[in-house]
Amino acid sequence: MATHLRSAGKKCTVIGGSGFLGQHMVEQLLKKGYTVNVFDIQKRFDNDRVQFFLGDLCDKEALLPALQGVSVAFHCASPAPSSDNRELFYKVNFMGTKAVVEACKEAGVQKLVLTSSASVVFEGTDIKNGSEDLPYAKNPIDYYTETKILQEKEVLSANDPDNNFFTTAIRPHGIFGPRDPQLVPILVQAAKSGKMKFIIGDGKNLVDFTYVENVVHGHILAAENLQKDSALCGKAFHITNDEPVPFWAFMSRILTGLNYDPPKYHIPYWLAYYLALFLSLALWLLSPLVTIKPTFTPMRVALAGTFHYYSCERAKRDMGYKPVVSLDEAIDRTLQSYPHLRRAKA
């Protein structure tokens, strides 16, 4: 059945709909004929076709009005990974997700699609073509990842076919695209301050970077295929561009596309890692006197210097997923969307 026919008359709520991924979700859902509510702690755009509900997802009572008459809830809210605030991550990603599950059940929502992360299995060492059967990280690389694991377990275990409540989790990796506040802006900031001169390791490590429209496509397919006895119930799915790329080739392509020089000197992985660790320790010791957010963190070094790419075969098999935008096209569209970050040619 055509997607637009299946989605006719469907009403959904995007929790975190003001965010980078959330806004792209809203745009595609509207295009596909969904009626869309947004629930978020902040309002970041205006659209007459969207009903906004402002509130904190940790508050079940605040969530309930946004879920009335809704058949699908997409939960893509999270504090930013860079905040590195353990208490906040625990409160929002774990306790807040429990509130989301409770509110969905109470409001009679039938399907809950969580945006998890492929990082839930990443411990800072190589993962090549990892499947969803890899165990959760025993030593997650940061508090963000630690609470994404708790969150995913909470949502998947809430799947309850007997009570007509179905849950699934999408695990994207390295989302990028227009309006992303993270990857390209942080990279350009680092280049401007002369910090993008070094390639960590030999530069051959393959990584997934996933265009935001492919991630959205995976979420919508998941919602449309999630039903009683389907293979999606209570399961997690990687959604990637299915084109792993050397981390440093990708970074260099973004930098040169915006007229910045690509990194060219190599620094051994372990040296970079211990330097970043030493820097974090020094900044932690100085934190009572001054707060500085480093660009160069052990977590980023691990992401920049190891292989971490994942198989999306399960999503292809169980929901008919296939990326809709190629990596080349995705990079071009992304570069065009950041004219303000482009360096003027000398």
Ligand X SMILES: CC(C)CCC[C@@H](C)[C@H]1CC[C@H]2C3=C(CC[C@]12C)[C@@]1(C)CC[C@H](O)[C@@H](C(=O)O)[C@@H]1CC3
Catalytic positions: 144
User: Is the distance from CB of 56 to CB of 42 less than 8 angstroms?
Assistant: no
Identity of the residue, 18 or 311, whose beta carbon is nearer to ligand NAD in the bound complex: 18
Q: How far is the CB of 124 from ligand NAD (least distance, A)?
A: 16
Specify burial of residue 33 (Cβ count, 10 A radius: 0-12, 13-18, 19+). middle
* Cβ at position 231, least distance to ligand NAD in Å: 22
Q: Are 167 and 153 in contact (CB under 8 A)?
A: no
Which of 4, 8, 61, 80 forms a contact with ligand NAD (CB under 6 A)?
80
Footprint on residues 280-339 left by ligand X (CB under 6 A):
295-296, 300, 303-304
Which of these ranges, 36-44, 231-239, 287-295, 309-317, lies near ligand NAD under the rule CB under 6 A? 36-44
- Among residues 36, 66, 72, 77, which is the contact residue for ligand NAD, using CB under 6 A? 77
Range 192-210 burial, b when 16+ CB lie within 10 A, else e: eeeebebbbbebebbbbbb
DSSP-derived pairing of the beta strands 127-130 and 111-115: unpaired
Residue 298 binds which one of ligand X, ligand NAD, none, with CB within 5 to 8 A depending on kind? Answer: none
Binder among 96, 124, 130, 174 for ligand X (CB under 6 A): 174
Please provide the distance, in angstroms rounded to a whole number, between the alpha carbons at the two ends of the chain: 55
Among 220, 241, 244, 239, residue whose Cα is nearest residue 315: 239
Residue 29 C-alpha from the chain's centroid: 18
**13 is a site residue for ligand NAD (CB under 6 A):** no
Determine the Cα–Cα distance for residues 103 and 59; give it in Å rounded to an integer: 9
Out of 14, 29, 73, 92, which residue is the one contacting ligand NAD (CB under 6 A)? Answer: 92
Q: What are the C-alpha distances in Å from 3 to residues 33, 53, 315, 332? A: 10, 27, 17, 27
Which range binds ligand X by CB under 6 A, 10-18, 21-29, 111-119, 155-163?
111-119
Rounded to an integer, what distance in angstroms lies between the CA atom of residue 223 and that of residue 111?
7
For ligand NAD, how many residues bind (rule: CB under 6 A)? 28
Alpha-carbon torsion, ordered 271, 274, 276, 277, to 10 deg: 180
List the interface residues with ligand NAD, window 160-189 (CB under 6 A). 172-175, 181-182
Question: Could you give the C-alpha distances from 8 to 11, 35, 123, 147, 329, in angstroms and in order?
Answer: 9, 9, 42, 35, 30
Candidate list 10, 13, 22, 199; residue touching ligand NAD; CB under 6 A: 22
Contact of 341 with 185, CB cutoff 8 Å: yes
Q: Toward ligand X, which CB reaches closer, 156 or 188?
A: 188
Counting contacts by CB under 6 A, is residue 117 touching ligand X?
yes
Subset of 74-103 contacting ligand X (CB under 6 A): 81
Closest to ligand NAD by CB, 58 vs 267, is 58
Among residues 10 and 253, whose Cβ is nearest to ligand X? 253
Judge whether 74 and 172 are in contact, CB under 8 Å.
no
Among 60, 75, 173, 217, which residue sits at the site for ligand X (rule: CB under 6 A)? 173
Interface residues toward ligand NAD, by CB under 6 A: 16, 18-22, 40-42, 56-58, 76-80, 92, 96, 115, 117, 148, 172-175, 181-182
Interface residues toward ligand X, by CB under 6 A: 81, 117-119, 173-174, 182-183, 186-187, 190, 295-296, 300, 303-304
